[in-house]
């Protein structure tokens, strides 16, 4: 069979459509009619993104000439290197937007946490593959995998980059579940996030969520000790969130939480971002106002409209049709990745693809949720669409590795 017929062109088409939509939105957000009011470095973001796309294309092609076994062989080394660089970022990193995310090397800025996501997925997938099956008799192996995820999460939290840390934490239960972790324990792992979400809205909702999840875990697993553990952990999460909201979080983080609960409380301050984003999305109507015609975008009411709030730009200028098409492309991309994971016979490849899929999905949900007021604004980009060189390159490398596993799935499966 010719090599080009083995290549998954559907994923490539989705990738091209997404970064094309991103380029159109970035152009509108940075080089519109009133761009003279923006700093020079922002006006150059469109050209910078084009350059990063070119670099990513080269990386994607190069990865297709790499043996799939290589990614398993280098996984632990890459994980350790990225951990060291992440620690270096905490100490010597450049701060922007309240977070120390960037490390300057040779005059170039790198967001190490983006590559750390991939390194962690590879390392955890390699470890879980060596254990083959994380069943009820091998809970210890699951705990080791959790620790491998927690280490980079803690380091990233020290960088004050809560959003990226949440992405890593979201990957844990999915990869463990794919490895054979029982349903009840998998639900137990994700229950703190669900309880924390409702607790942020109201502590009574957090307690109610704790009760509901504890009962659900009991009916799924029927282990009294797991049910009681889930209930105790849930109550601790409720207490911990309350303490964090009023004693631990910094003022700007508290303001984001308050704006999430009720943005109208401070419409000119903390609630401004969400209110303007929702206005932009709603004003687009069915067909949108037209390219470079969005008032919220062109008059710069939207904050960070080339990164965190790029979806409202698309929704305002291209309407429900444009935004819906974008989400359809994302859905096709995610479903195709899951299909590739299900068809592959090598457990390492399966776990990596599942981890990558969950990374994209979590970014998508949190980014859109932040723009629509469903989640607090925590500064996560929309994969392949938002401006950001390090992020775009890391996402493209993740996708390229998935393409590599699919292309060589027959050869790779021989080594299972």
Q: What is the secondary structure of 279-314 as a DSSP string?
A: HHHHHTTTT-S-TT--HHHHTT-STTTTTTTHHHHH
The number of residues making up the chain comes to 416
Instruction: Name the H helices within 159-265.
Output: 162-178, 183-201, 203-221, 224-243, 251-261
- CA-CA-CA-CA torsion for 110, 47, 44, 271, nearest 10 degrees? -70
Rounded CA-CA distance 197/213 in Å is 13
Rounded CA-CA distance 335/349 in Å is 16
pLDDT the model gives residue 109:
76
Rounded CA-CA distance 397/144 in Å is 26
Residue segments in the chain with a per-residue pLDDT below the cut of 70? 1-5, 32-43, 96-99, 106-107, 132-138, 248-250, 252-253, 255-256, 259, 264-270, 413-416
Domain coordinates in residue numbering, the chain: 1-65+265-416, 69-181, 182-248
What is the 8-class DSSP label of residue 105? E
Query: How far from 90 is each of 78, 153, 189, 313, CA to CA, in Å?
Result: 18, 13, 28, 33
Provide the token pair at 191: 């229950």
pLDDT the model gives residue 378:
81
Q: Which residues contact 171 (CB under 8 A, 6 or more apart)?
A: 120, 121, 124, 149, 355, 358, 359, 362
Query: How far from 400 is each of 27, 238, 272, 383, 409, CA to CA, in Å?
Result: 26, 40, 38, 14, 14
Provide the token pair at 217: 């875990």
- Name the residue among 146, 26, 131, 16 with its Cα closest to residue 389: 26
pLDDT the model gives residue 360:
97
pLDDT the model gives residue 98:
63
Among all chains, which residue has been given the structure tokens 């016979």? 345
pLDDT the model gives residue 354:
96
pLDDT the model gives residue 83:
95
The whole-angstrom distance between residue 67's C-alpha and the CA centroid of its chain comes to 27
CB 49 within 8 A of CB 389: yes
Rounded CA-CA distance 366/133 in Å is 30
Q: Which residues contact 176 (CB under 8 A, 6 or more apart)?
A: 128, 134, 142, 145, 146, 185, 186, 189
- Name the residue among 313, 322, 327, 320 with its Cα closest to residue 277: 313
pLDDT the model gives residue 391:
92
Provide the token pair at 294: 């969005």
Tell me if residue 32 falls in helix, strand or coil: coil
CB 89 within 8 A of CB 102: yes
CB 386 within 8 A of CB 111: no
pLDDT the model gives residue 96:
66
CB 350 within 8 A of CB 317: no
Crossing angle between the packed helical segments 112-131 and 347-371, to the nearest 10 degrees = 140
Provide the token pair at 24: 């159109």
Q: In what order do the strands lie in the sheet with 108-111?
A: 94-96, 99-105, 108-111
Rounded CA-CA distance 247/409 in Å is 51
Tell me if residue 404 falls in helix, strand or coil: helix
Among all chains, which residue has been given the structure tokens 């080339």? 306
pLDDT the model gives residue 75:
96
């Amino acid at each position: 069979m010719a090599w080009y017929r083995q290549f998954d062109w559907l994923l490539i088409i989705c990738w091209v459509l997404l970064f094309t939509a991103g380029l159109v939105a970035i152009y509108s957000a940075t080089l519109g009619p009133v761009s003279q009011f923006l700093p020079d470095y922002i006006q150059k973001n469109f050209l910078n993104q084009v350059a990063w796309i070119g670099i990513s294309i080269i990386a994607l092609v190069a990865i297709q000439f790499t043996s799939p076994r290589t990614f398993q062989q280098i996984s632990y080394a890459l994980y350790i290197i990225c951990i060291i660089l992440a620690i270096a970022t905490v100490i010597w990193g450049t701060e922007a937007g309240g977070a120390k995310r960037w490390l300057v090397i040779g005059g170039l800025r790198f967001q190490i946490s983006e590559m750390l996501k991939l390194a962690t997925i590879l390392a955890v997938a390699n470890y879980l593959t060596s254990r083959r099956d994380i069943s009820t008799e091998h809970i210890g192996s699951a705990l080791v995998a959790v620790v491998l995820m927690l280490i980079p999460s803690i380091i990233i939290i020290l960088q004050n980059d809560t959003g990226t840390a949440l992405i890593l934490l979201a990957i844990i239960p999915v990869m463990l579940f794919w490895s054979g972790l029982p349903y009840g324990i998998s639900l137990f792992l994700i229950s703190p996030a669900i309880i924390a979400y409702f607790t942020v809205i109201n502590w009574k909702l957090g307690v109610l969520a704790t009760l509901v999840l504890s009962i659900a875990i009991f009916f799924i697993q029927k282990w009294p000790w797991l049910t009681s553990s889930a209930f105790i952990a849930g109550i601790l999460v409720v207490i911990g969130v309350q303490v964090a909201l009023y004693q631990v979080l910094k003022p700007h983080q508290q303001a984001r939480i308050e704006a999430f609960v009720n943005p109208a409380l401070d419409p000119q301050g903390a609630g401004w971002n969400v209110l303007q984003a929702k206005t932009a999305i709603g004003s687009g109507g069915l067909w949108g106002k037209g390219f470079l015609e969005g008032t919220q975008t062109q008059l710069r009411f939207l904050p960070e409209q080339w990164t965190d709030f790029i979806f409202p730009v698309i929704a305002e200028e291209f309407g429900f049709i444009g935004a819906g098409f974008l989400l359809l492309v994302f859905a096709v991309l995610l479903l195709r990745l899951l299909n590739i994971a299900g068809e592959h016979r090598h457990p390492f490849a399966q776990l990596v693809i599942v981890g990558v899929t969950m990374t994209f999905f979590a970014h998508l949900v949190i980014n859109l949720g932040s723009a629509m007021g469903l989640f607090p604004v925590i500064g996560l980009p929309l994969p392949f669409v938002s401006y950001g060189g390090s992020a775009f390159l890391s996402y493209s490398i993740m996708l390229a590795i998935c393409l590599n596993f699919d292309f060589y799935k027959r050869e790779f499966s021989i080594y299972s």
